Amino acid sequence: MIKKVASFAKINLSLYIESKRKDGYHNLYSLMTQIDLRDDLYIEFAQKELSISCDHPDVPEDESNLAYKAAVLFHQSLKTKTCEEKKGLSIEIIKRIPPGGGLGGGSSNAASVLTALNNYYKKPFSKSELMEIGFSLGADVPFFIFGGPAIARGIGERLEKVLNLRPCHLVLCDPGIAASTAEVYKNIDFRLTANQKYNKYTGLNEPLRGQKFDVRAQMHNDLEESACRLYPEIKETKEEMVVLLQRKVYMTGSGSSLFALFSARENAKKAFELLLKKWARSRRKVFLSSFI
C-alpha cells in the first residue's frame, strides 16, 4: 500500500527572540503559518525494512534524515504503547521546499510521516501525544502536526491557534544558499533585536481574540540581522527584491528564504514573473505561493 502525503512549508510572519536559555536554546515568540509550497511523500507500509530516498542531492538518504528518524521513533513509541512489533517502511520524498531555507521542510516531512503512521495504525496516539513525539525530533515538528496558523512560544513547542488571519499570497525566493540555524542563533546580537521596542503582546494578541487580523503591520524577524551578516547573499537578494518589487521583503525563520506579501493573487503572479525573468540565469529560485 503506497500513500501520497502532502508536506507543506511554513513561514514565520513575525519572530522575536526573547532570551537565551541555560540549555543553549532560545525562547521565542513567533507567528507562523503554513503555505502551499510542498514536498510530496510516497509512503509504502508493511515493508521488510525502513528505507528513505529523495530526489534532492542535499537531502540525506540515511538514518540522519528527520523523516527516517520520525518513523523509527513512532515505531518505538508504538511498541511501548501497544507491544506492536516494529515494521518496515519505504519513504520517497519529492523535494520542492528548499533545504536550509527556514521553511521547515525537514520538520514538515517528519510530521507528515508521524501523522501518516498514526492514521495507518488507526490513531493509537492523540494529537497532543503525537506532537510530543514530534517535539523530540525538532522544535518545529509539533507546529506541522498542530495544523493552521499559530503563535509559538518557548523554543517553539507551546502553540496557540490564530483565528481569522487574512489570506495572503506571496513571492518566495531561495537565494541559492542554505543557512545554518545553529550559526544564525549563535551570532545574534541582542543589542540589535527589536523585541524590547515593540509591544508584540498587544499587536499579536488580536488574532487570539478572534478579530480579523492583517499581519503586515506586525511583521519582523530578529534573526534577519544575524543571517545577513553571516550570509551576504541573503542581504543582497533582499535588497534587489525590495527595488524590483517596490515593497517590503522579509526573511523566514533563520533564513535563507525571503518573501514579499500580496493581497491579490494577480499582483503576486506579476511579481513572481518579474523575478523569474530577472534571475533566469542566477542560482536563485523563485516560488509563487499562498497561505493555507
- Which residues does the annotation mark as catalytic? 10, 140
Q: Which three three-digit cell numbers place residue 57?
A: 542531492
As a whole number of angstroms, the distance between CA 261 and CA 247 comes to: 9
Q: What angle do CA 103, 104, 110 make, to 5 degrees?
A: 155
As a whole number of angstroms, the distance between CA 220 and CA 202 comes to: 15
State how far the alpha carbon of 3 is from the alpha carbons of 41, 107, 113, 117, in Å.
8, 19, 11, 10
Q: Following DSSP, what letter does each residue of 44-109 receive, concatenated?
A: EEEESSEEEEESSTTS--STTSHHHHHHHHHHHHHHHHH-PPP-EEEEEEE--SPTTSSS-HHHHH
As a whole number of angstroms, the distance between CA 287 and CA 105 comes to: 15
φ, ψ (nearest 5 deg) of residue 108: -65, -40
As a whole number of angstroms, the distance between CA 89 and CA 44 comes to: 6
Q: Do the beta carbons of residue 40 and residue 5 sit within 8 Å?
A: yes
State how far the alpha carbon of 10 is from the alpha carbons of 127, 155, 216, in Å.
19, 16, 16
φ, ψ (nearest 5 deg) of residue 242: -60, -45
List b or e across 175-212, with b for residues whose CB sees 16 or more CB atoms inside 10 angstroms. bebbbbbeebbeebeeeebebeeeebeebbebbeeeee
